[in-house]
A = this chain, B = another copy of it.
Amino acid sequence: MAKMVKNAAGRIVPVEINGKSQTPYQGVGKYIPTGMKAAPPIRSCADYPMDGNKIVGSLQEALEKAGLKDGMTVSNHHHFRNGDLIMNQVFDIASEMGVKGLRWFPSAAFPCHEPLIEHIKNGVVDWIEGSLNGPLGDFASKGGMRGTGVLRSHGGRWQAIQDGEVHIDVAIIAAPTADEFGNATGDRGPSACGLLGFGLADSMYADKVIVVTDNLVPFPCIPWQIQGQNVDYVVALDKVGEPEKIVSGTTQLTKSPDRLYIAELTAKFVKAAGILKEGFSFQAGAGGTALAFALYLKEFMIEAGIKARFIRGGSTKYLVEMLEEGLTDYILDGQTFDLDGVRSMRENSGHINTSPFTSYNWHGKGNFASMLDVVVLGATEVDINFNANVVTHSDGRMLHGIGGWQNCLFSKCTILPIPAFRDRIPVIVDEVTTLVGPGELIDVIVTERGIAINPKRTDLIEATKDCGLPIRTIEELKAEIDDLIGGPPTKPKLTDEVISVVKWVDGTVIDSIFRIER
């Protein structure tokens, strides 16, 4: 077991992960990287077909030509979310080829990837390095992987690839439309999923890039969200994904009266704080409460005659309506969360395709996240220092990825609207099970029992002091909630075995996730 140290947040983290030495978290903005970005090999057109036709007969042929072998890293994007039809095939083929010890580096894994558990057990895959949602997270929590998981934000994944922390040998890009040269787009075709931004770094930095499509068009495929100049092979299959499954349970409007109330309080707070003004910007996640928040905000915008300059997506039909009704100039979209988002990206010139490079990468010359006037995010736990958790539950199980969550914390006002309880377990705790977001970046907590403003944000406290909203200290909120339940929750029983770490946006290790009792 690797040596453990206490990082700047007081969390115990390993100094080495999967054989690579690590930098412990040093505080927000404290770690300044040195050196040069990673760079892929120089290629020559002499080694590629002059007529531009890179089609090979099958996915297996592409993997063989790409030189897939033991110990390699295979990556993919997750724009099909729970409707991906490619990656299980990839690892089935790898298994048939007799390849062992792969690292799977998806931008996220979903319940549809549960068959990977067998491939971990049989040795084809050693570990998964990426967001683990649902069954794979549960499997990893119990110590099922032969390597340490690494949870990164969307921006952190770009940073890790860009900085050379993760070298991708073979990238698989499932593409709803592509040409034989490898230009590809997600915004059209029978399996249209919107955009392919989570695969952009993969296409730019991987040694070998395979585009898999079910809709070949004559060159040129326009738009070319993925550029054929980065692609080695193109495979045509019958179906690459089920776009209807990109809509998951987390992307539906809440019907809970409590959560609707929290959403309304959040929108009222935004208005009261003076954030709601002409040309402002906001981002709301795709959770049910965040969607409801956007609808309340929309009402206030219409009442006040205010137009946003831009809204950041995950796009949904609610954001698309705002664009089409003229309530914003642009949607800057990183991920379409429903089919209205897909359609809008194809049809509306103001619905803009972004990538983690533009939106979130901390190791660039700025990114979009810090320009947002207000962002509304979820959390599984928050502590009295405003530190927040989004990856583990209070029982210690790792069940969620980070998504863009850490990156979004850099907005000018970060609000977490959360219920006071989940399954009768208080959400405000003394100390978060896993530290994912440092409290200094989290400005406001909104619960059905009141709003707590981070004491650091004296400007927000001042702006809202006479607004009539139920503003309280986080200690008051916590005490009231604990009283109702009869005391603070019991801590989960965890082993001292690290099954995964959480990276901060700069690649440092902010916390460890420990194995739960099996």
Partner of A366, one of B34, B37, B52, B357: B52
Partner of A370, one of B44, B52, B371: B52
Partner of A43, one of B41, B209, B364: B364
> CA A357 – CA B204 in complex, angstroms?
12
B35 touches A371 (CB 8 A): no
Would you give the shortest CB distance from A37 to chain B, in whole angstroms? Answer: 4
A363 touches B43 (CB 8 A): yes
CB of A51 closer than 8 Å to a CB of B: yes
User: From A42, which residue of chain B is reached at the shortest CB distance?
Assistant: B33
B45 touches A370 (CB 8 A): yes
Would you give the shortest CB distance from A254 to chain B, in whole angstroms? Answer: 30
Would you give the shortest CB distance from A126 to chain B, in whole angstroms? Answer: 26
CB of A484 closer than 8 Å to a CB of B: no
A309 touches B218 (CB 8 A): yes
CB of A336 closer than 8 Å to a CB of B: no
A367 touches B39 (CB 8 A): no
Flag A29-63 by CB within 8 Å of B: 1 or 0 each: 11111111111111111111111101000000000
CB of A182 closer than 8 Å to a CB of B: yes
Stretch of A117-125, A226-234, A243-251, A424-432 that contacts chain B: A226-234
B362 touches A45 (CB 8 A): yes
Known A220-B330, A220-B332, A330-B222: A229·B43 in contact at CB below 8 Å: no
A42 touches B163 (CB 8 A): yes
B309 touches A229 (CB 8 A): no
CB of A385 closer than 8 Å to a CB of B: no
User: From A47, which residue of chain B is reached at the shortest CB distance?
Assistant: B32
CB of A361 closer than 8 Å to a CB of B: yes
Would you give the shortest CB distance from A234 to chain B, in whole angstroms? Answer: 11
B222 touches A352 (CB 8 A): yes
A362 touches B44 (CB 8 A): yes
> CA A40 – CA B164 in complex, angstroms?
12
Would you give the shortest CB distance from A280 to chain B, in whole angstroms? Answer: 11
Would you give the shortest CB distance from A371 to chain B, in whole angstroms? Answer: 4
Q: Which of A45, A209, A410 has the most CB of B within 10 A?
A: A45
User: From A506, which residue of chain B is reached at the shortest CB distance?
Assistant: B44
Within A186-215, the residues touching B (CB, 8 Å) are: 209
Known A182-B365, A364-B229: A42·B48 in contact at CB below 8 Å: no
A181 touches B371 (CB 8 A): yes
User: From A359, which residue of chain B is reached at the shortest CB distance?
Assistant: B229
User: From A232, which residue of chain B is reached at the shortest CB distance?
Assistant: B365
Within A355-394, the residues touching B (CB, 8 Å) are: 357-358, 361-368, 370-371
Would you give the shortest CB distance from A314 to chain B, in whole angstroms? Answer: 17
CB of A326 closer than 8 Å to a CB of B: no
Would you give the shortest CB distance from A354 to chain B, in whole angstroms? Answer: 9
> CA A506 – CA B45 in complex, angstroms?
9
Would you give the shortest CB distance from A119 to chain B, in whole angstroms? Answer: 29
Flag A108-142 by CB within 8 Å of B: 1 or 0 each: 00000000000000000000000000000000000
Would you give the shortest CB distance from A498 to chain B, in whole angstroms? Answer: 27
User: From A163, which residue of chain B is reached at the shortest CB distance?
Assistant: B42
User: Which residues of the other chain, B, contact A370 by a CB distance below 8 angstroms?
Assistant: 45, 50-52
B36 touches A40 (CB 8 A): yes
Would you give the shortest CB distance from A510 to chain B, in whole angstroms? Answer: 16
Would you give the shortest CB distance from A125 to chain B, in whole angstroms? Answer: 27
CB of A162 closer than 8 Å to a CB of B: yes
The 11 sampled A-B contact pairs (Cβ below 8 Å) are A32-B46, A37-B42, A51-B370, A54-B366, A222-B330, A222-B352, A227-B357, A229-B358, A229-B364, A229-B366, A230-B365
The 3 closest A-B pairs by CB, nearest first: A29-B46, A39-B39, A37-B39
